[in-house]
């Protein structure tokens, strides 16, 4: 019988078969690991931010709606925004509410009321929303910024 370390075995067809089998097993393992990583990378939640209007009068409140569509086995944590949030002043940030959708998933939503005090086009800063899974893993989904246009109202200040 030939041992694995003998020179005759390393030059034999059996050795080439063992080497080929080992390479195939390594390839199969790589494919499985890549598939597992791809499954893990699937989006856990869909996070959106919508404004009640594209345009607001400077100084008037604007209602933003933050919505997170997620699976039942996850918990959503929306951060408390600072009073001065980029160019916006946060007037109110309601308690988040979670409801069940028709397909059995959950939708967590929160109303945020903001104001801007000068005319112009502004973009909301990103909001990092934390999604915690039952298995203990955490995913942070960032809300895409949205543009908001602020204009002077009927009683615009006089320009010199």
Question: Within the chain, which residues score under 50 in pLDDT?
Answer: 33-41
pLDDT at 17: 59
**What string of DSSP letters covers 65-85?**
EEEEEE-TTEEEEPPPPPSEE
Indicate whether this model's pTM tops 0.85: no
List, in order, residues 6 or more apart from 136 with CB less than 8 Å away. Answer: none
pLDDT at 20: 62
List, in order, residues 6 or more apart from 47 with CB less than 8 Å away. Answer: 66, 67, 68, 69, 129, 141, 142, 143
pLDDT at 7: 61
Three-state secondary structure string covering 93-109: ECCCEEEECCCCCEEEE
CA distance 69 to 100: 10
């Amino acid at each position: 019988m030939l041992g694995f370390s003998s020179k005759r075995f390393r030059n034999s067809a059996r050795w080439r078969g063992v080497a080929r089998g080992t390479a195939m097993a390594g390839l199969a393992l790589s494919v499985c690991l890549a598939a597992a990583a791809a499954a893990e990378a699937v989006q856990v939640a869909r996070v959106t931010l919508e404004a009640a209007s594209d345009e607001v009068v400077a100084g008037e409140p604007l209602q933003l709606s933050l919505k997170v569509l997620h699976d039942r086995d996850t918990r959503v944590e929306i951060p408390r925004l600072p009073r001065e949030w980029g160019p916006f002043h946060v007037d109110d940030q309601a308690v988040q509410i979670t409801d069940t959708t028709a397909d059995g998933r959950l939708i967590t939503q929160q109303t945020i009321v903001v104001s801007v005090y000068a005319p112009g086009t502004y973009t909301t800063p990103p909001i990092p929303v934390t999604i915690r899974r039952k298995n203990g893993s955490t995913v942070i989904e960032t809300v895409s910024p949205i543009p908001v246009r602020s204009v002077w109202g009927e009683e615009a200040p006089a320009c010199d």
